[in-house]
A and B are shown apart, each in its own frame.
Chain A
Amino acid sequence: MTITDQDYQFFLAAIKYSSKYDFSQYSEKSLKRRLGKVLSDNRININILINKLKNSSEFVEKIVKEITVNTTELFRDPQVWQAIRYAILPKLKSNSVINIWHAGCSSGQEVYSMLILLNELEIFDKVKIYATDLNSDVLDLAKIGEYKYRFNIGYLDNFDKVIKENPYNYEEYNDVPYEKYFDIDKTNDLIRMKDFLKEKPIFKRHDLVTENNTLYVKFDLILCRNVIIYFNYNLQSKVFDLFHKNLYDDGCLILGLHETILGSHSVKYQKKGHGYYKN
């Protein structure tokens, strides 16, 4: 379904008018495409959509959940997780407390990836891990910690690359069984995270676009992966500013593999490998 510029502006205005959300600084191509998908999934036209948005806050919640992108994986981009394991976390090992924030955690796969790594590095107990997302439905999924098995068979390959193999030493092989961290239930087609992992994180609903840091702590490490690609340049700057203010000195920000810090904020961070360190 094609969305005209005028429809798009009316849609943005309707959301802003009838909710606390603001999509006006989202990346236009992606959002227009998602909007088209929402219209065809709901079999309605743009005028009906806009009217319903104005009249029902439940409908706004529903549409916001449908329009945001929630794809994620366990150990997505293994090379990044190898860097976290061998370069980024070791620097924090001597801290008495380590605060980590997964901003835009979606259904939680990368939160569990981090928890598994922390346990392997024997720093699980001194870490406080916070995970937030705009969408309360995906946060509920993150809390449940169950994922489809067959569709996500690649999770196991990623696990092997990060947990079992060592890219810096090909002779090393740690035969860590999957059951240490999750059960594979082939009958029900599920991967189930162990309780000791599920109990650890603090999950909280949070909107990066309109809210400040509502976790009220500062962080050693912030992961915000494949979130800012959906934001325009101005909004990206605002988010980088929020992260900068809430990182400890020498704190580290990890973005998606093809995301980068542009413009005035680029000088406030120093890139080393896969991490952006606060200057």
Chain B
Amino acid sequence: MNYNAVIIGGSAGSFQVVTKILNSLPKTFPMPVLLCLHRLKHVRSGFVEALSLKSNIPIEEPFDKDKLIPGKAFLAPANYHMYIELANRIALSTEDSVNHSRPSIDLSFITASNAYRNKLIGIILSGANKDGAFGLKKVHDNGGVTIVQDPEECEVRTMTQSALHLTKVDYVYSTDLIIKFLLKLT
């Protein structure tokens, strides 16, 4: 099975996990990695730099209408929603918060699942609210692969448990197994 994109959503307790995943991916990772992570509203800079420290793939906060390309990670910018358009492009929005969040993980997941259908891998990590649960369901409904970080391993379980409650996901994996799964795609 070939996939065209990976999308990862996380909130409280997800920073270390995302860092570990990004550090494990090879430069030649064959698809774009979309990151929608909640952060404190006023921590608007330094996040990309922190994620980039040991990552082999470049990470950027995209501009509106930037093209998604393989082997690169795109982090939803602070205070914007990040949508995925059909033509492999990013669309940003300043619409009101959804689930008290901007960026909203649900919105990124929903639009990515519309764009990539069954060619999308959706991953939900540790977090303190239910954002992302509905989005992951859409990934599943569109035939994509759904992965949830093992709640046992999560610093905060609300997000993963909400996702598991709403969707019969394909895999419940520890961080190491998530990495193993992604490396098999390269």
Residues of A within 8 A of B (CB): 27-30, 33-34, 69, 71, 76-77, 79, 154, 157, 226, 228-230, 233, 256-260, 262
Contact = CB atoms under 8 A, between A and B. Distances in A.
B85 A69 contact: no
A95 B183 CA distance: 60
Contacts of A154: 41-42
B175 interface: no
Given A29-B85, A154-B42, A257-B77, A34 B95 contact: yes
Interface stretch (B58-66, B121-129, B148-156): B58-66
B77 A258 contact: yes
A260 B95 contact: no
B2 interface: no
A172 to B, nearest CB: 21
B85 A258 contact: no
A229 B94 contact: yes
B91 interface: yes
Given A29-B85, A157-B42, A229-B64, A258 B95 contact: no
Nearest to A225: B94
B65 A262 contact: yes
Nearest 7 interchain pairs by C-beta: A260-B63, A229-B64, A29-B83, A226-B94, A71-B94, A229-B92, A258-B77
B186 interface: no
B134 interface: no
Contact of B93 (A157, A229, A233): A229
A260 B83 contact: no
Interface residues of B, number: 24
- Which of B44, B64, B85, B95 has the most chain A CB within a 10 Å cutoff? B64
Given A154-B41, A154-B42, A69 B93 contact: yes
Contacts of B86: 28
Contact of B95 (A69, A76, A259, A262): A69
Nearest to B63: A260
B176 interface: no
Nearest to A226: B94
Contacts of A33: 83, 93, 95, 107
Contacts of A30: 83, 91, 93, 95
B111 interface: yes
A29 B42 CA distance: 27
Contacts of B84: 29
B80 interface: yes
B96 interface: yes
A181 B63 CA distance: 33
B111 to A, nearest CB: 6
B155 to A, nearest CB: 26
25 contacts: A27-B85, A28-B85, A28-B86, A29-B84, A29-B91, A30-B91, A33-B83, A69-B94, A71-B95, A76-B79, A79-B45, A154-B41, A228-B64, A229-B92, A229-B93, A229-B94, A230-B93, A256-B64, A258-B61, A258-B62, A258-B64, A258-B77, A260-B64, A260-B65, A262-B65
A259 B64 CA distance: 5
B97 to A, nearest CB: 9
A239 B92 CA distance: 18
Given A29-B91, A229-B94, A258-B63, 8 more contacts: A33-B93, A69-B94, A71-B94, A229-B91, A229-B92, A258-B80, A259-B64, A262-B65
